[in-house]
Structure formats: structure tokens, C-alpha cells
Amino acid sequence: MIGMVLRRLAVLPIVLLAIYTLTLALAWAAPGNPVDRPEGRRPPQAVIDAMERQYNLDSFPRFYVSYLESASGVRWVRDRLAGPVDPQRPIFDLGPSLQYEDRRVNEILADSLPVSMTLGASAILIATLIGVGAGVIGALRPGSFADGASLALAMVGISLPSFVTGAVLILIFGVWLGWLPVGGWGTIGQLVLPAVTLSLPFAAYIARLTRMGMIEQLSSDHVRAARAKGLPEHTVVLRHALGNALLPVVSYLGPATAYAMTGSFVVERVFRVPGLGEHFVNSVLNKDLFLLIGAALTFSVMLVLFNLAVDVLYRWIDPRITGDRA
């Protein structure tokens, strides 16, 4: 197990290097000059040239190497060996934001990542509760009204975009009933609506996974044996069937959590949640190279780490599993 964890962590830098190279190449090729502003008074050309030189935007190879050095911590180590460095300087320096002149990418990520992670974790939590509940109900009576209703709900959850479900929830719970705040961040109340909105597509998927797993488990030999022993139905369902039926759900939770934590752009906008999602979109539109690469790398790290965490959990939940699932 420890060997697997170490192996996977060793691969991480290679994955990141590949993602960095690809992202930078694509972003570099996109039209538009990152230091030029699209409207308003233009700074003199000499100023633009100086800024391009400062950020190495005038040369792809120099940018490539220079960013790699500072983001990987190589530059920090080198400077540290040469003499004392500013204690506030981060080891892994992801560079300045070209759009938000006062901000470093490290600060932007440090501000917005915890917000997105909280929102994403809450959404997955809600999705799991709704999804597993609906899936079990559906599986116990396949073809019943409850099964149909949970299927319909799942379809709605998957097909409706979150700017629609979000707006409907705001209208019902925020404006008509006045139970919950319509946006913002910082209180439990402000977390509820965005988390529910974000959870719906995940809940729908989890419900289908649970239902499938449960139907399979309920017709399996060990459940039949448990029933034959005369165990009460709830013990059969909860102890013997559900545990195994949930394994696919657990393996889905890894990537789902990573997606929920980083892919909540629309929900964050609708509910004014100051998270990471917006930077993914805006950094591309603004051609804010440093922020764009920083966000892409963060997402990659999260995806790899959550998959790893799920694999570790997976083995712990079901010790029969061995081998390396990449």
C-alpha cells in the first residue's frame, strides 16, 4: 500500500510537467497580448515591451524554463543556497497575475481554493446522501412508483444546467420563502443553496450507481444466503448488500470531488461564491497566463490526489482489493 502511494506520488511531477507544457503551448498560441489592455488608454509601447521582457512574454523557451524554475521551487532553493531569502517569499512561486495587478497567483489560489473545496465537499456530501438514499429505494422495488420518481429526479438533476436549478432554488427559498440568503459566502446559510445546486448532477449519478449495485447485490448468492438464514430484511439490505453496492460509488467519489471542487464556475457565479471556478474561465478570456497555468496545475494536483485518496480508502474498506489502479 505504501509502495503504491509512493509510486503514484512519484508520477505526479511527470503528469504536472506534461499538463504544464500542453496548457502553456495552447495558451501561448491563443490570440491577444496578455499585457495589453483591450480598452482604455494604452501605455506607451516602451512600457509594454518592458513588461513583456519582465515576464518573459517575448520568448516562449525563456518563459517555459523560467516559470518551471520558480513554480517547481528550483529557483527558491538556488537563491536560498546563495544567501538568505525573503521569509515571505513562497517556495513554489506561481508568478504574478497579469490581470489583477496587486495579486500573486499563489495568493489568489490560497484565497479561493478553500472556498471551492468547502463548496465542493458539501455538494458531494449532499449528493451522497441523496444519491444513496434514492438508489436504495429504487433498487428495493424496481419498477415501482418510488423507483420511477427517483429515476425522473435523477434525469432532471443531470439534464438541467445549474444556472437554471440555481435560479429556481433562489426564487423558491431565497425570494418567495425567504428562508435562505440568495448569495454571498461566510455563513452556513449561504452554503446551503449553492451546495444543493452543485450536488444535483452528482446525486443523480450516484443514485444510478447505487441502484445498479444494489440490484446486482440483492440477487447475489451471499444475500440469498443471508435471507435464507432468516435475518431481518433491514439487516440484509444494510449490512450485506449496501456495503458491496457502494464500492463503485466510493471509486466515483474521487474524481467527482475534484470536479465539484474546481468545476463550479456557474454555481459560484450565480450565488456569488468567491471560489476558484471563475478563474478558470476568466484567466482564459483575459489571457492571464500565470493564473491560467496555476489553476490548471491546481486542478491536476487535486484530481491525482483525490484519486489516490479514494484508492487508499478503497483498500481499507475492502481489503480483498490489491494491485495498482492507475
Partner 1 sequence: MPRVLAPIVLLIVAVVASVWSDRPLPMADLVIVERAEVNTVDPHQMSWNQDLRVGRALFEGLLSEDTASPDQRLVPAVAREMPEVSPDGLVYTFRLRPGLKWSDGSPLTARDFVYAWRRGMLPETAADYSNMFMPIRGAEAFVARRAAALAAFVADSSLADRSARAEELWREAIDDFSARVGVRAIDDLTLRVELESPLPHFLSLVAFPVMFPLCEASVSRHESLDARTGRRVWSNAWARPGVLVSNGPYRLTLWRFKRDMRLERNENYRDPRLPLSPTLSILNIADANSMVLAFRTGAVDWTTDVAVPYRAEMLDLQRQFWNEQAALVGELRAQGLSNARIAAALPRDPRNTVQAYPSFGTSFLNLNCSPLLPNGRPNPLADARVRRALALSLNKREITEQIRRIGEPVAGSLVPPGSLAGYTPPVGLAFDPDRARQELAEAGFPGGAGFPPIEFLFRRDGGQDLLAQAIARQWERQLGVRVLLLQVESRVFGERLKAAKYMVSTASWFGDYGDATTFLDISLSNSNNNDRKYQNPRYDELLSRAARLADPAERAASLAEAEQLLVETDLPLIPLFHFVQVYLFDPSRFEGLSEHPRQIHTLARLRRKEPAP
Residues numbered 85-144 forming contacts with partner 1, rule: CB under 8 A: 86, 88, 96, 99-104, 107-108, 111-112, 114, 117-118, 121-122, 124-125, 128-129
Span of 8-16, 181-189, 207-215, 221-229 interacting with partner 1 by CB under 8 A: 181-189
Q: Which of residues 25-64 bind partner 1 (CB under 8 A)?
A: 30-33, 36-47, 50-51, 53-54
- Report d(CA 178, CA 171) in Å as an integer: 9
Backbone angles phi, psi at 104, to 5 degrees: -95, 155
- Whether residue 274 contacts residue 80, with contact meaning beta carbons closer than 8 Å, is answered with no
- Report d(CA 115, CA 271) in Å as an integer: 13
Span of 13-21, 172-180, 205-213, 219-227 interacting with partner 1 by CB under 8 A: 172-180
Cβ of residue 100: shortest distance to partner 1, in angstroms? 6
Residue 322 binds partner 1, judged by CB under 8 A? no
Burial pattern 90-109, b for ≥16 Cβ within 10 A else e, equals eeebbbbbbbbeeebbbebb
The residue from 160, 250, 301, 305 that contacts partner 1 (CB under 8 A) is 250
Residue closer to partner 1 by CB (options 19, 27) is 27
Listed residue (203, 217, 201) closest to 249, CA to CA: 203
Residue 187 is given by DSSP the state S
Residue 68 binds partner 1, judged by CB under 8 A? no
- Report d(CA 210, CA 133) in Å as an integer: 9
Quick one: CA torsion of 207, 209, 215, 221, rounded to 10 degrees?
A: -140
- Whether residue 192 contacts residue 169, with contact meaning beta carbons closer than 8 Å, is answered with no
Percent helix, strand, coil in the chain (nearest 5)? 75, 0, 25
Residue 233 binds partner 1, judged by CB under 8 A? no
Span of 142-150, 153-161, 197-205, 284-292 interacting with partner 1 by CB under 8 A: 284-292
Residue closer to partner 1 by CB (options 71, 193) is 193
Cβ of residue 264: shortest distance to partner 1, in angstroms? 13
The residue from 67, 205, 271, 290 that contacts partner 1 (CB under 8 A) is 271
Span of 20-28, 142-150, 226-234, 249-257 interacting with partner 1 by CB under 8 A: 249-257
Residue 19 binds partner 1, judged by CB under 8 A? no
